[in-house]
Amino acid sequence: MSDSSNASPTVVDDRIAVPVWDWPVRVVHWAMVICLVGLVITGLRKGDAMAWHMRLGEALLALVLFRILWGFVGSRNARFAAFLRGPRAGIRYLRSRLKPPHEIHVTHNPVGGWMVIALLVAMLVQATLGLYANDDVFWDGPLAKTIAKKTSDALSSLHSRLAWVVVGLAVAHILAVFVYLVAFRENLIRPMVVGKKRLPAGVGAAEAARASSVKAIALLATCAAVVWWIVRTTPAAG
Ligand code: HEM
Ligand code: HEM
C-alpha cells in the first residue's frame, strides 16, 4: 500500500507541488508536538497530572523510536541518508541563504538535518531518564525501582534539567521555521501538514516520498509494544 498523497505532481503557478513528506513523518511530527507540550505542562503541575506525564512520556518514547527507525526504512526523503551532510555542506548552505541563489533542498536542509537529530536524541535521552526518575513523594518512573534510590535521584535531577534543553531546542526549531516564513517567505509548515512542497520543475520526485503504510503501521505498533513491554515487565530490584 502506498501514500495516497503521492499522486502525480500538480502545477501551481510557476512551481510544482511535489510530495516530499510521507504521512508517517507528518503524523508522528504532530503527535510528538502534542506529547511534548503535554509533558512540560504535566511535569510542572505534578500531583495527579503525573499519571498523564508517564503516559505521554511513554508515547513520546515510542514515537521517537519509530522516527529513528523510519530514518532507515522509511520513504527516501525521510531517511537520514537523504539529509545528513557534513559541516562543509552546512556552511555552504548558510552562505547561500545570505547571498542568492539559494540552495534548494527537497528534504531537510544540511543545517536543519542536524537540528532534527539533536531534537530526536534529546527527546530519546530525556524520555529514557524519565523511566528511572522519581519525585521523592508519590510518583516513580516505571523503572525507578529497578535501580538504587540514590541513582534514581541523580537521574531525576538530570531529567529535570534536560527538560529545559529539550524545550530550548524545540523553541529554536519553531523560531527557525518562523524565520523561514517571515524573512525568506518560505512556508515549511504547510508541507509538514499536507505533505507537498512547491518546488521548481525538475526538482524532487514523488517516488521519494512514497512509503508503505503497512510497514509504517507495523513499525509503529512494534515500537509501542516494545516500550509497553519494557515498562510493564521489567521486575523491580531486590
Ligand atoms: C521528552 C520527554 C519528557 C519531558 C520533556 C519531561 C519533562 C519533565 C518535567 C518538566 C518535569 C518536572 C521537573 C521539575 O519540576 O523539576 C518532569 C518530572 C518527572 N518526569 Fe518527565 N518528562 C519527559 C518524559 C518522562 C517519562 C517518559 C517519564 C516516565 C515514564 C517521566 C517521569 C517523570 C517523573 C517521575 C518526574 C518527577 C521527577 C522529579 O520531580 O524530580 N518523564 N518531567
Ligand atoms: C514543540 C515541539 C516540536 C518538536 C519536538 C518538533 C520536532 C521536529 C522534528 C523531529 C522534525 C523532523 C521531522 C522528520 O523528519 O520526521 C521537525 C520538522 C519540522 N517541524 Fe517541528 N517540532 C516541534 C514543533 C513544531 C511546530 C510548533 C511547528 C510549526 C509551527 C513545527 C514545524 C516543523 C516543520 C515545518 C518541519 C520541517 C522542516 C523542514 O522543512 O526541514 N514544528 N520537527
Q: Within 6 Å (CB) of ligand 2, which residues are found?
A: 25, 29, 32-33, 36, 67, 108, 112, 116, 119-120, 170, 173-174, 177, 188-189, 192
Cα distances from 159 to residues 117, 127, 133, 238, in angstroms, run 19, 8, 7, 24
Domain 4-233: CATH class, spelled out? mainly alpha
Tell me how far apart the alpha carbons of residues 152 and 145 are, in angstroms, rounded to a whole number: 8
Q: What would the pLDDT profile of 35-86 be if each residue is shown by its tens digit?
A: 999 999 999 999 999 999 999 999 999 999 999 999 999 999 999 999 999 9
For 47, the 3-state DSSP assignment is: coil
Task: Please tell me the residue having the least CA distance from ligand 2 atom 25.
Answer: 174
pLDDT at 190 over 80: yes
pLDDT at 26 over 90: yes
Q: What would the pLDDT profile of 158-173 be if each residue is shown by its tens digit?
A: 999 999 999 999 999 9
Task: Please tell me the residue having the least CA distance from ligand 1 atom 9.
Answer: 43
**C-alpha dihedral, 123 to 115 to 192 to 208, nearest 10°:** -110
Tell me what pLDDT residue 66 has: 98
Amino acid letter at 5?
Answer: S
Burial of 99: CB neighbours in 10 Å, binned 0-12, 13-18, 19+ = exposed
Q: What would the pLDDT profile of 116-150 be if each residue is shown by its tens digit?
A: 999 999 999 999 999 999 999 889 999 999 999 99
Report the percent of the chain where pLDDT is more than 70: 93
State in Å: Cα 106 to ligand 1 middle: 36
With contact defined as beta carbons under 8 Å apart, do 3 and 22 qualify? yes
Instruction: Name the grid cell of 149.
Output: 534510590
At 235, is the pLDDT very low, low, confident or very high (cuts 50, 70, 90)?
confident
The long-range contacts involving 156-161, CB below 8 angstroms and separated by at least 24 positions, are 156/129, 156/132, 158/129, 159/126, 159/129, 159/130, 159/133
Element (H, E) at 19: strand 15-19
Closest CA to 85 of 104, 52, 110, 60: 110
Ligand 1 pocket check for 71: Cβ under 6 Å: no
> Residue 127 CA: which ligand is closest?
1
DSSP state of 134: B
State in Å: Cα 159 to ligand 1 middle: 6
Strand residue runs (E) in 87-185: none
At 234, is the pLDDT very low, low, confident or very high (cuts 50, 70, 90)?
confident
Whether the link from the prior residue into 87 is cis, omega within 30° of 0, is no
Tell me what pLDDT residue 13 has: 60
> Could you give the maximum distance between any two Cα atoms of the chain, in Å?
68
Whole-model pTM: value is 0.93
- Rounded to 5 degrees, φ, ψ at 196 are -105, 145
Q: How many residues does the chain have?
A: 238
Q: Domain map of the chain by residue range?
A: 4-233
